[in-house]
């Protein structure tokens, strides 16, 4: 067994000791349950750690990660995580966080057959198709990739807003609020894209509005 593997468990023990020294009941409280305010949906890239870059501790953020931080209707993994976070954990904020220098974004723009990755990367290519005019006007290749990272975050945020559980809870409680971020690993900074969802959704709201169901109407009456 390699030394680098064994070190992980040594580091774990050091982490346990440090936590207990500062807070003797830390693990008892951790085991009692979770009540995070945040759902973080990010990329699987090993350089982007949710809790670390947000300065949060275990139990403070519910995390879902995949290649290129995608959320699409047929992905039961992401959908289940969002449903649980919204309906059961009652998170107040949903964050989609992309990052510059994303390998998934770049792979999607390579005109090659990626085998089993093709269906996944097609979602990113669809983002490019929707915003092709803007992206093709960017001459610098690196700047074009950076902008595609941002637009991909925007589209995944919209996919979350389209979900019934998100719409219903927002109508009842005023939460969750959806945010689009980008992590710039060249500087270490988190960037809030300040996406104007109200303006973007204006033309499509009637199509994706799922809040006229009998359940929502009755729930709103009961909460009034």
Q: What is the pTM of this model?
A: 0.91
Annotated active-site residue in 25, 32, 37, 45:
45
Say whether 99 is catalytic: yes
Position 103 scores a pLDDT of 94
Q: What residue ranges do the domains of the chain occupy?
A: 1-31, 34-209
**pLDDT tens by residue, 75-97:** 999 999 999 999 999 999 999 99
Confidence class for position 114, pLDDT limits 50, 70, 90: confident
Span 34-209: which CATH code?
3.40.1050.10
Annotated active-site residue in 22, 64, 72, 99:
99
Position 111 scores a pLDDT of 87
Q: Mean per-residue pLDDT for 123-131?
A: 96
Annotated active-site residue in 97, 102, 157, 179:
102
Annotated active-site residue in 3, 25, 32, 43:
43
**pLDDT tens by residue, 182-217:** 999 999 999 999 988 877 777 777 777 777 666 555
Say whether 131 is catalytic: no
Task: State the SS3 of the chain.
Answer: CCHHHHHHHHHHHHHHHHHHHHCCCHHHHHHCCCCCCEEEEEECCCCCCHHHHHCCCCCCEEEEEECCCCCCCCCHHHHHHHHHHHHCCCCCEEEEEEECCCHHHHHHCCCCCCHHHHHHHHHHHHHHHHCHHHHHCCCCHHHHHHHHHHHHHHHHHHHHHCCHHHHHHHHHHCCCEEEEEEEECCCCEEEECCCCHHHHHCCCHHHHCCCCCHHHHHHHHHHC
Position 219 scores a pLDDT of 62
Say whether 47 is catalytic: yes
Annotated active-site residue in 47, 125, 129, 132:
47
**pLDDT tens by residue, 24-70:** 999 999 999 999 999 999 999 999 999 999 999 999 999 999 999 99
In the predicted model, is pLDDT for residue 221 greater than 70?
no
Say whether 165 is catalytic: no
């Amino acid at each position: 067994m390699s030394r680098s593997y064994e070190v992980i468990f040594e580091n774990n023990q050091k982490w346990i000791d440090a936590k207990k020294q500062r807070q003797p009941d830390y693990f008892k409280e951790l085991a009692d349950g979770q009540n995070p305010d945040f759902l973080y949906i990010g990329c699987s890239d090993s350089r982007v750690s949710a809790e670390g870059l947000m300065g949060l501790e275990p139990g403070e953020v519910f995390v879902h990660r995949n290649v290129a931080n995608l959320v699409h209707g047929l992905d039961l993994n992401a959908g289940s995580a969002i449903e649980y976070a919204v309906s059961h954990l009652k998170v107040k904020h949903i964050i989609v966080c992309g990052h510059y220098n994303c390998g998934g974004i770049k792979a999607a723009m390579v005109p090659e057959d990626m085998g089993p990755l093709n269906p996944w990367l097609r979602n990113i290519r669809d983002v490019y198709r929707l915003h092709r005019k803007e992206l093709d006007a960017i001459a610098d290749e690196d700047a074009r990739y950076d902008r595609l990272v941002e637009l991909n975050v925007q589209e995944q945020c919209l996919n979350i807003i389209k979900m019934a559980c998100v719409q219903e809870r927002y109508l009842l409680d005023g939460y969750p609020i959806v945010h689009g971020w980008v992590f710039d690993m060249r500087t270490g900074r988190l960037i809030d894209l300040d996406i104007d969802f109200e303006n973007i959704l204006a033309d499509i709201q009637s199509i994706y509005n799922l809040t006229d169901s009998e359940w929502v109407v009755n729930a709103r009456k009961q909460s009034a």
